[in-house]
A and B are shown apart, each in its own frame.
Chain A
Amino acid sequence: MYIDRHSIKWDELHQMDVFRPLYPTESIVRFIKANFPNPANAHILDLGCGAGRHVLFLAEQGYKVTGIDFSQQGLDIAKKRIEEKRLHAQLSKGSILSLPFQNESFDGIISYGVLIYFKKKDLITAIDEIHRVLNKGGKAFIVVRSIYDKRFGLGKEIEQNTFRMKNKNEENFIVHFFTKEEILSELFTIFSKIELGFTNEDLLYLDLYNSNFLITLTK
Chain B
Amino acid sequence: MYIDKHTEKWDKLHESHTFRPEYPTESVIRFVRMNFPEADGKSMLDLGCGAGRHVIFLAQEGFSVTGIDFSKTGLQYAKKRLEDHGLNAVLTEGSILSLPYEDDSFDGIVSYGVLCYFKYDDLKTVAKEIYRTLKKDGKAFLITRSTHDKRFGKGINIEKNTFKMNSNITNEQDLLIHFLDMEEISDLFSSFSSIHVGFTEESLNSLTEYNSDYLITLTK
Contact = CB atoms under 8 A, between A and B. Distances in A.
Given A23-B23, A25-B26, A201 B210 contact: no
Interface in A87-111: none
Contacts of A137: none
Interface size class of A (residues with CB under 8 A): 20 to 34
A198 B202 contact: yes
Contacts of B31: 203
A196 B207 contact: yes
A172 interface: no
A108 to B, nearest CB: 14
Given A180-B207, A203-B34, A26 B26 contact: yes
B30 A214 contact: no
A24 B26 CA distance: 8
A198 B27 contact: no
A201 B199 contact: yes
Contact of B23 (A24, A31, A199, A200): A24
Interface string B18-44: 100101111101110010000000000
B146 to A, nearest CB: 10
B198 interface: yes
Interface string A164-200: 0000000000000000100000000000000111111
B95 interface: no
A180 B199 CA distance: 22
A36 interface: no
Contacts, number: 81
Nearest to B204: A197
A27 interface: yes
A112 B198 CA distance: 23
B205 interface: yes
Contacts of A31: 204
Given A203-B217, A206-B199, A209-B199, A29 B204 contact: no
Contacts of B90: none
Given A23-B24, A203-B27, A197 B207 contact: yes
B204 A34 contact: yes
Contact of A201 (B24, B201, B204): B201
B53 to A, nearest CB: 10
Contacts of A203: 27, 30-31, 34, 196, 198, 215, 217
A195 B24 contact: no
B205 A195 contact: yes
A200 B200 contact: yes
In the A-B complex, list the 8 residue pairs whose CB atoms are closest, starting with the nearest: A201-B200, A199-B202, A197-B204, A197-B203, A203-B198, A202-B198, A195-B205, A200-B201
14 contacts: A24-B23, A26-B26, A180-B207, A196-B206, A197-B202, A198-B210, A200-B200, A201-B26, A201-B198, A203-B196, A203-B215, A203-B217, A206-B198, A216-B204
